[in-house]
Amino acid sequence: MVGSKAQPLSQILLPNFRRIYISNEAILGLNFKKWIVALFTGENE
């Protein structure tokens, strides 16, 4: 019973999670790269 319920749930959540993750990466990607550069260069904005 649990397995039959988990399968459709994962099929619903996984595409949404991937879509949200990709959109967040597009938005936060540049800031994250700036943070990495600042971390290695010692610069703080």
Query: Residue 7's pLDDT band (boundaries 50, 70, 90)?
Result: low
Say how far residue 26 (Cα) sits from the centre of its chain: 9
Over residues 15-41, the pLDDT tens digits come to 887 787 777 776 777 777 788 888 888
Q: How many helices (H) and strands (E) does the chain have?
A: 1, 0
Q: Is the pLDDT of residue 42 over 70?
A: yes
Q: How many CB atoms lie within 10 A of CB 35?
A: 13
- Chain length of the chain: 45
d(CA 18, CA 30): 19
DSSP state of 45: -
Q: What is the pLDDT of residue 44?
A: 55
